[in-house]
Amino acid sequence: MSSVKTFQINQFNNIGSLWGSAPVDDNIITEEPLEIWLQLLAASPTQASVLTAKPLLILMRTPGDDINLVTGWLLTSGTIDNLSQIKAIHHSGLDRVKQGSSNRVLVTLSAEVKLDLAGLNRQEYASSACGVCGQQSIETILLRLEQKQQAQRQDYSSLKVEFIGVLMTQFSQALPLFAQTGGNHGVALFNQLTGIVDVREDVGRHNALDKLIGANAELLLSANERNHGLGVILSGRVGFEMIQKAAMANINYVLALGAPSTLAIELAKEADIVLVGFIKAQRFNVYCGQQRLVLPK
- 3-state SS, the chain, equals CCCEEEEEEEEEEEECCEEEEEEEEEEEECCEEEEEEEEEECCCCCCCCECCCEEEEEEEECCCCHHHHHHHHHHHCCCCCCHHHEEEEEECCHHHHHHCCCCEEEEEECCCCCCCHHHCCCCEEECCCCCCCCCCCHHHHHHHHHHHHHCCCCCCCCEEHHHHHHHHHHHHCCCHHHHHHCCCEEEEEEECCCEEEEEEEECCHHHHHHHHHHHCHHHHHCHHHHHHCCEEEECCCECHHHHHHHHHCCCCEEEECCCECHHHHHHHHHCCCEEEECCCCCCCEEEECHHHEECCC
Q: Which of 109, 44, 51, 55 is nearest to 80 (CA)?
A: 109
Last residue of a domain, one of 150, 183, 213: 150
> Residues 129, 170: one domain?
no
Maximum Cα interatomic distance, the chain, rounded to a whole number of Å: 81
Last residue of a domain, one of 150, 170, 201: 150
> Residues 83, 202: one domain?
no
For residue 44, being part of any structural domain is answered with yes
> Residues 140, 207: one domain?
no
Which residue among the candidates 130, 138, 161, 197 is catalytic per the annotation? 130
> Residues 221, 281: one domain?
yes
Q: Letter for the amino acid at 8?
A: Q
For residue 2, being part of any structural domain is answered with no
Last residue of a domain, one of 117, 150, 183: 150
Per the structure, the count of domains in the chain is 2
Rounded to whole angstroms, how far apart are CA atoms 292 and 239? 22
> Residues 40, 123: one domain?
yes
> Residues 179, 279: one domain?
yes
> Residues 145, 217: one domain?
no
Rounded to whole angstroms, how far apart are CA atoms 202 and 280? 23
CATH number at residue 178: 3.40.140.10
> Residues 117, 198: one domain?
no
For residue 8, being part of any structural domain is answered with no
Q: Is 133 a catalytic residue?
A: no
For residue 20, being part of any structural domain is answered with no
For residue 12, being part of any structural domain is answered with no
> Residues 254, 220: one domain?
yes
Per-residue tens of pLDDT for the chain, all 297 residues: 789 999 999 998 998 889 899 999 999 999 999 999 999 987 766 665 667 788 888 999 999 999 999 999 999 988 898 999 999 999 997 666 556 678 999 999 999 898 766 655 444 555 555 655 545 455 666 676 676 665 555 555 789 999 999 999 999 999 999 999 999 999 999 998 889 999 999 999 999 999 999 999 999 988 555 545 899 999 999 999 999 999 999 999 999 999 999 999 999 998 889 999 999 988 999 999 999 999 988
The boundaries of the domain holding residue 69 are 32-150
